Amino acid sequence: MLNLERLRTLDALARHGSVSGAAEGLHVTTSAVSQQLAKLEREVGQPLLAKNGRGVRLTDAGRLLADHAERILSQVELAQSDIEAQRGRAVGELQIGAFPTAARGLFPAALAALRAGHPQLDVRSREMEPAEAVRRVVRGDLDLAVVLDWYNKPLPMPDGLAKRALLDDPADVAMPADHPLADRAEVNLEDFADDEWITWPEGEFCCDWLLFTLRGKGVEPRVAHVAEEHATQLALIAFGLGVSVTPRLGRGPVPPGVRVVPVRHAMSRHVYAVWRADADRRPSIRAAVDALAEAAATLSD
């Protein structure tokens, strides 16, 4: 009889492409992954891995079994969903992820509500970029993720996922309080063509959106500083070191020396929850999405 956890380890290796990637996805050590795969090889009586430079690759037998493992684990997910749905209670473990400002702006209220309303549900949360969160939901490493689209740049979304809109998150321009435009009621992004910009790290979805949007308006931004956290960006702005686009969700208090001005043609992020469609019947998924929606509604009131 094949061991389910060892099949899960093989599936993780096939999806991540390396022992270290599988270990990260499963939240275990590389040694634990290697041990599970060695036991699985003994169970099937064939080598499943072969050396490939400094890493490993699946043998023909390994790829065959990994294909079966993917289907088996999908069926297990469906079985768990059906059992949980029949039981009608949110129980067990739930892994959720969100981009940082959603984790800051939505998770505290939502997770507290889940703890109070569903004490048998064990929720584990992590911050991560939207694209990575989507990949982890598809792979089954996460049960649920909070992700975003920008109004003019959607996040690529694979098939097989369900989604629910949570809120639209407006974004403003943050600038030093002594900036020439600081007293305006509204501004345009192109008004800052000559300013230095403070952006998110290169390759992050919001950074890609900002560069895409500015260039679409004929502005080639001069990026002076890069900071992942909005609080860091605002601290730099307070000392006159540039301007930034700053969404309102999870923004927190604006420090002295910073002026935040709305954009004339409103910009917003569409924030929503995603999960695997084959887990749609799980009460824990529904409870978590409802809690996130309730937390989002309080921000819109």
Segment 158-209, tens digit of pLDDT? 888 999 999 999 999 999 999 999 999 999 999 999 999 999 999 899 999 9
Bridge partners (DSSP) of residue 276 are 161
pLDDT band (50, 70, 90) for residue 215: very high
Q: What confidence score (pLDDT) does residue 66 get?
A: 86
Q: What confidence score (pLDDT) does residue 231 get?
A: 92
Amino acid of residue 49: L
Cα–Cα distance, 34 to 8 (Å, whole number): 13
The top-scoring range by mean pLDDT among 27-31, 247-251, 281-285 is 247-251
pLDDT band (50, 70, 90) for residue 99: very high
Both tokens of 288, joined, read 């978590």
Q: What confidence score (pLDDT) does residue 190 get?
A: 94
Q: Report the candidate in 172, 132, 188 with the shortest Cα–Cα distance to residue 156.
A: 132
Residue 85 pLDDT greater than 70, yes or no: no
Both tokens of 118, joined, read 């569903």
Residue 76 pLDDT greater than 80, yes or no: no
pLDDT (tens digit, 9 = 90+) per residue, 254-268?
Answer: 999 999 999 998 899
Residue 150 pLDDT greater than 80, yes or no: yes
Q: What confidence score (pLDDT) does residue 233 get?
A: 96
Q: What confidence score (pLDDT) does residue 88 get?
A: 64
Mean pLDDT of the chain: 90
pLDDT band (50, 70, 90) for residue 73: confident
pLDDT band (50, 70, 90) for residue 127: very high
Residue 81 pLDDT greater than 70, yes or no: no
The backbone torsions φ and ψ at residue 296, rounded to the nearest 5 degrees and listed phi first, read -65, -40
Helices (runs of H) and strands (runs of E) counted in the chain: 10, 10
Residue 260: how many CA atoms within 13 Å on its side-chain side? 17
Q: What confidence score (pLDDT) does residue 235 get?
A: 96
- pLDDT > 90: percent of the chain: 58
pLDDT band (50, 70, 90) for residue 83: low
Q: Look at residue 197 and give its three-state secondary structure.
A: strand
pLDDT band (50, 70, 90) for residue 126: very high
Set out the domains of the chain in order of their start, with CATH numbers: 4-85 (1.10.10.10), 90-167+270-300 (3.40.190.10), 168-266 (3.40.190.10)
Contact 61, 46 (CB under 8 A): yes
For range 131-154, the mean pLDDT:
91
